[in-house]
Amino acid sequence: MRSRYSAFCLDNIEYLIATLHPDKRKTDDRQTLGQNIRQTQWLGLKVIDHKVFRQSATVEFVAFFQDPTVEQKINQLHERSTFIKEDERWFYVSGAFLPPIKLTRNELCFCGSGQKYKKCHGV
């Protein structure tokens, strides 16, 4: 999951497609991903839970982002993703959207600044 998040941050569309399960790929993936990446400024990733089995895994995470064309509002993508392992490679299969999480004022900020949320993005 972290590598796919990094690929979104770095505009690495080829990696995102390569790690998407072949059965889930569509002919317009490059265009759709490119549009999504251009419209999104990724701010941080928080992995909440993960379960790894022999040939499958689930990861619950929150990715924090903002759309640079909209106000400074910070949004969340809270998802439980499913991955499967085939030929020693992990592939993203699907994701279920979950409601946004509530951040507490005194926890470390999601952006990695080392500051408390209330002093950083919690303003």
Tell me the whole-structure pTM to 2 decimals: 0.89
Sheet of strand 75-86, all strands in order from the earlier edge strand to the far edge: 41-52, 56-66, 75-86, 89-97
pLDDT band at 117, cuts 50/70/90? very high
Cross-strand pairs, 46: 62
Q: How many domains does the chain contain in total?
A: 1
Quick: pLDDT tens for 15-58: 999 999 999 999 999 999 998 888 899 999 999 999 999 999 99
CATH classification of the domain holding 80: 3.10.450.50
Domain holding 95, by residue range, is 2-119
Quick one: DSSP state of residue 24? G
Where b means 16+ CB within 10 Å and e means fewer, 91-117 reads bbbebeeeeeeebeeeeebbbeeeeeb
